[in-house]
Amino acid sequence: MIRPFAEPDWEQVWPIVREVVRAGDTYTYDPAMSEADARGIWVESPPGLTVVASHDRVAGTAKMGPNKAGPGAHVATASFMVAADSRGQGIGAALCRFAIDWARAQGYAGIQFNAVAESNVAAVTVYRRLGFKIIGTVPRAFEHPTLGRVGLHVMYLEF
Amino acid sequence: MIRPFAEPDWEQVWPIVREVVRAGDTYTYDPAMSEADARGIWVESPPGLTVVASHDRVAGTAKMGPNKAGPGAHVATASFMVAADSRGQGIGAALCRFAIDWARAQGYAGIQFNAVAESNVAAVTVYRRLGFKIIGTVPRAFEHPTLGRVGLHVMYLEF
C-alpha cells in the first residue's frame, strides 16, 4: 500500500499537498505555495525518499531524508500528508511507521520533527504512540488560522 | 561597525564561511560546501538580511530572516560566523545584538536558533546572556569532529 512516489502520481499528490498547505493549520509552508514550489519541496531526491499510500487512488504521501547537512546528517526527518477525506483511517500512522522503518534501515540515529503544531493533536498523538518524545515547545511560534498563536513542538525518536 | 553585506564583501566573507564550515564543529552545514552553495546559503534576500562586522576588514558576518514560511514566518532566525583570528573580542555578541534589534524592529515575535551544538559553549553563553532560553536539546544530534555526538539545542528569545 505504501510505495515510492513515481512521476504519474504527482497529479494525485499535488491536490493533497495543496489542500494541506492552503488550510495553513498544520505545516509552516506558505499557504499560497505554487504547484512548482510544492513539487520542489515535496518530491525528494536520494538520499531522501517520497512515498505514496495508495490503494485504488493516492490517499496520503510522505517524504523523508536527512534533517540537516554535514554534522547533522545522521538524523532523519519526515513529513506526512493525508487527503482530508481519508483521515482517521490510520494512513498517517502507517506512513509514519514506514518512515521509521526506512530511517532505521538507512542507518539514521533517529527521526526529528522540527515543527509540529501543538494544536495538531491527531498527529502528536500518533507520534507519541510510535515513540516520539517532545524535546521542547517553542511558544506561540505557529499562527493557526482560527486558534491564534500556538506552540511548535520539536519531537524526536532516537533509535 | 555592523553594516549590510555588499557584493564586494564576498571575497572576505567566503574565507570566514569556508573556515567555519570546513571545521565542522559548530554548524550543520556540509563541510565540503562549495563557494557557490555557500553564497546561496549565506547571502540573504529580503525579507532576510546579511550583514558584516567590519572595521578595516571583515571580521564577522551574520544572516537573519524568517525561520519558517507561512504560519511560522512571524518568528525570525539568525546565524553568526566570526573569523578564527577575531574571536573572543565580542564580535559574535555584537552581531547577535544586531540581529535581535533588527528582528524586533521588523516586527518578529522572537528569534529561534534551530541547532546550536551544546559543545559550542562560547555561543551558548552569549545567547543565554542576551536572553535566549534553551527550549530543548536533541540528544546526540551533532557529530562533532573530536567530541563525538553531542546535543543540539533549540534556543528561543521571545520579545
Determine what percent of chain B is predicted with pLDDT higher than 90.
Answer: 99
Task: Enumerate residues 6+ apart whose C-beta is below 8 A from A36.
Answer: none
Cβ of A70 within 8 Å of Cβ of B31? The answer is yes
Residue with cell 511548535: A152
Q: Is residue B111 within 8 angstroms of chain A, CB to CB? A: no
Q: Which of B159, B95, B153, B158 is nearest to B124 (CA)?
A: B153
Q: Is residue B110 within 8 angstroms of chain A, CB to CB? A: yes
* Chain segment A120-136, per-residue pLDDT in tens: 999 999 999 999 999 99
The stretches in chain A having pLDDT less than 70 are none
* Chain segment A138-147, per-residue pLDDT in tens: 999 999 999 9
Cβ of A28 within 8 Å of Cβ of B149? The answer is no
DSSP per position, A129-157: HTT-EEEEEEEEEEEETTTEEEEEEEEEE
pLDDT confidence of residue A87: 96
Closest chain A C-alpha to B120 CA, distance in angstroms: 13
pLDDT confidence of residue B148: 98
pLDDT confidence of residue A19: 98
Total domains present in chain B: 1
pLDDT average, residue stretch B66-93:
97
* Chain segment B28-66, per-residue pLDDT in tens: 999 999 999 999 999 999 999 999 999 899 999 999 999
3-state secondary structure of A29: coil
R_g (Cα) of chain B, nearest Å: 15
- Which of B79, B138, B144, B154 should be substituted to probe chain A, the one whose Cβ sees the most A Cβ atoms within 10 Å? B138
Q: Which long-range contacts (CB under 8 A, 24 or more apart) does A149-153 make?
A: A149/B74, A149/B109, A150/A117, A150/A118, A150/A119, A151/A117, A151/A118, A152/A28, A152/A115, A152/A116, A152/A117, A152/A118, A152/B72, A153/A113, A153/A115, A153/A116, A153/A117, A153/A118, A153/A124
Cβ of B68 within 8 Å of Cβ of A115? The answer is yes
> What band does B7 get if pLDDT is binned at 50, 70 and 90?
very high
| Residues on chain A touching B109 (C-beta within 8 angstroms) | 140-141, 149
Q: Is residue B107 within 8 angstroms of chain A, CB to CB? A: no
| Residues on chain B touching A145 (C-beta within 8 angstroms) | 71
- Could you give the C-alpha distances from A57 to A31, A39, A53, B154, in angstroms and in order? 25, 19, 8, 39
pLDDT confidence of residue B100: 98
Give the residue on B whose Cα is nearest the Cα of A77.
Answer: B141
How far is residue B83's CA from residue A61's CA, in Å, rounded to a whole number?
A: 44
- Which of A152, A153, A155, A159 should be substituted to probe chain B, the one whose Cβ sees the most B Cβ atoms within 10 Å? A152
Closest chain B C-alpha to A55 CA, distance in angstroms: 32
| Residues on chain A touching B25 (C-beta within 8 angstroms) | 71
Interface contacts A/B by beta carbons within 8 Å: 119
pLDDT confidence of residue B16: 98
Give the structural domain span for B54.
2-158
Q: What is the mean pLDDT of chain B?
A: 98
Cβ of B69 within 8 Å of Cβ of A110? The answer is no
H runs (alpha helix) in A75-120: 91-105
- Which of B26, B77, B135 should be substituted to probe chain A, the one whose Cβ sees the most A Cβ atoms within 10 Å? B135
Closest chain A C-alpha to B135 CA, distance in angstroms: 5
pLDDT average, residue stretch B121-146:
98
User: Residue B107 belongs to a domain with what CATH number?
Assistant: 3.40.630.30
Its pTM stands at: 0.97
Q: Judged by CB atoms within 8 Å, which residues 22-81 of A form the interface with B?
A: 24-25, 27-31, 33, 67-75
pLDDT confidence of residue A51: 98
